[in-house]
Chain A
Amino acid sequence: MELDNTDKSILNIIQTGFPVDARPYAVIGEQVGLTEEEAHARVMNMKSGGVIRRIGASFDSGGLQFSSTLCSAKVPPEKVDEMVAAINRYPEVTHNYERNHAYNVWFTVIAESRERIQQILDEISAKTGVGGIRNMPATIKFKIKVDFKFKKDKQEEEEE
Chain B
Amino acid sequence: MNPEITALDKKIMKHLQDNIPSSIHPYKDIADDVGISEEEVIAKIKLYKDKKWIRRFGATLRHQKAGFSANGMGVWKVPNPADRQPMGEIMASFREVSHCYERPSYEDWQYNLFTMIHGQSKEECEEVARRISEKTGIKEYTMLYSSREFKKSSMRYFP
Contact = CB atoms under 8 A, between A and B. Distances in A.
A103 B109 contact: yes
Interface of A: 11, 14-18, 20-25, 36-37, 40, 43-44, 47, 50-66, 70, 72, 84, 87-88, 91-101, 103, 105-107, 110, 112-113, 134, 136-148, 150, 152-160
Contact of B151 (A107, A139, A145): A107
Contacts of B77: none
B109 A99 contact: no
B72 to A, nearest CB: 9
Contact of B60 (A54, A113, A153): A54
Given A138-B101, A142-B88, A143-B99, A94 B152 contact: yes
Given A14-B59, A97-B149, 14 more contacts: A14-B58, A15-B60, A20-B42, A23-B24, A24-B26, A24-B27, A52-B59, A57-B17, A58-B54, A61-B155, A64-B2, A66-B157, A98-B147, A142-B91
Given A57-B48, A91-B156, A95-B151, A155 B68 contact: yes
A85 B152 CA distance: 14
B156 A145 contact: no
A45 B13 CA distance: 25
Contact of A64 (B19, B109, B157): B157
Interface residues of B, number: 74
Contacts of B58: 14-18, 55
Contact of A60 (B18, B54, B64, B97): B54
Given A57-B56, A99-B147, A139-B103, A47 B13 contact: no
Interface of B: 1-3, 5, 13, 16-20, 22, 24-28, 38-39, 42, 45-46, 48-49, 51-64, 67-68, 73, 84-85, 88-89, 91-92, 97-104, 106, 109, 114, 118, 142, 144-157, 159
Most buried by A among B1, B89, B114: B1
A98 B101 contact: no
Given A96-B150, A138-B101, A139-B104, A63 B2 contact: yes
B101 A141 contact: yes
Contacts of B64: 153, 155
B57 A57 contact: yes
